[in-house]
Amino acid sequence: MNKLGSAIFSRLVIILPYAWLLFFFLVPFFIVFRISLSTTAIAQPPYEPVFALADGLSGFFGKVGQFSFANYIWLTEDALYLNAYLSSIWIAGVSTFITLLIGYPIAYGMAQAPRTLRPTLLMLVILPFWTSFLIRVYAWIAILKPEGLLNQFLLSIGVIDQPLIIIGTNWAIYIGIVYSYLPFMILPLYSALEKMDNSLIEAAKDLGCPPISAFWKITFPLSLPGVVAGCMLVFIPAVGEFVIPDLLGGSQTLMIGKTLWNEFNANRDWPVSAAVATILLLILVVPIVFFQNAQAKAEEQGR
């Protein structure tokens, strides 16, 4: 009886995440994918074919026959989309790198801090999540705009004599992404650095390795799983980021999230925007697979 119960329980434990994936990832993905194969129509919903129960089997196959990859071909024909993808990946990549450069020393400092202080520091990292993301991005407008806080400050101390034009440029987007995603970088880095055995560093020093070199030879390689996790957690959402480029970026800012938004709302072209989303997903699945491989490797290393 008990055995049966635990068998059912262990099944359930396995089934739950799969069910979650099925309902909240796979099903929505197929809906999007199906729309991406449709054509626009002035109707409600604004695409066809639309399946109905009344169609019967032959009607169903007839409608499946209307599916086409025309939207994907369209994406390759207009350079706008390719440029948007490339520019998104570039912006996300640069932002991820800057986030890593800022996040690593912070995480390292936290991991080196006295044990009693660490929960407080962790709390401070998570603290920004307690206010709305949107409000925090709006706050950056107030800081970065020509008559904003930053410019007032720089003008008052005499570093510049003309206000810097930051808002509406890619600089503002970098600042926004780095700021918004920094906790996602710090947390996995901290968890990797925090469980590092200090005697490894001592062993390296004992064998003649000065501290800085010990960092690069021991600490950094052993924190790589954290680096990879942090970069993925920043890069993946940053590629599809829409709010930050929309609020902080300018008209010339090209990011795929914004393009998608335009196709969907302004052009009301659901099939093309669905195709944009599908390709975006494929672009992101590759790094996820890479990430999982890295994690499996780290586990195999017995850490």
Positions touching other proteins (CB under 8 A) are 197, 199-200, 202-211, 213, 218, 221-222, 301-303
Long-range Cβ contact pairs of 178-182 (< 8 A, separation 24 or more): 178/95, 178/98, 178/99, 178/102, 179/136, 179/140, 180/133, 180/136, 180/137, 180/244, 181/95, 181/96, 181/99, 181/233, 181/234, 181/237, 181/238, 182/99, 182/102, 182/103, 182/106
CB of 196 to other proteins, least distance (A): 10
Name the residue nearer to other proteins (CB basis): 77 or 197: 197
Name the residue nearer to other proteins (CB basis): 209 or 283: 209
Name the residue nearer to other proteins (CB basis): 44 or 199: 199
CB of 201 to other proteins, least distance (A): 9
CB of 299 to other proteins, least distance (A): 11
Name the residue nearer to other proteins (CB basis): 6 or 213: 213
CB of 197 to other proteins, least distance (A): 7
Name the residue nearer to other proteins (CB basis): 151 or 223: 223
Counting beta carbons within 10 angstroms of the beta carbon of residue 92, is it exposed (0 to 12), middle (13 to 18) or buried (19 or more)?
A: buried
CB of 200 to other proteins, least distance (A): 5
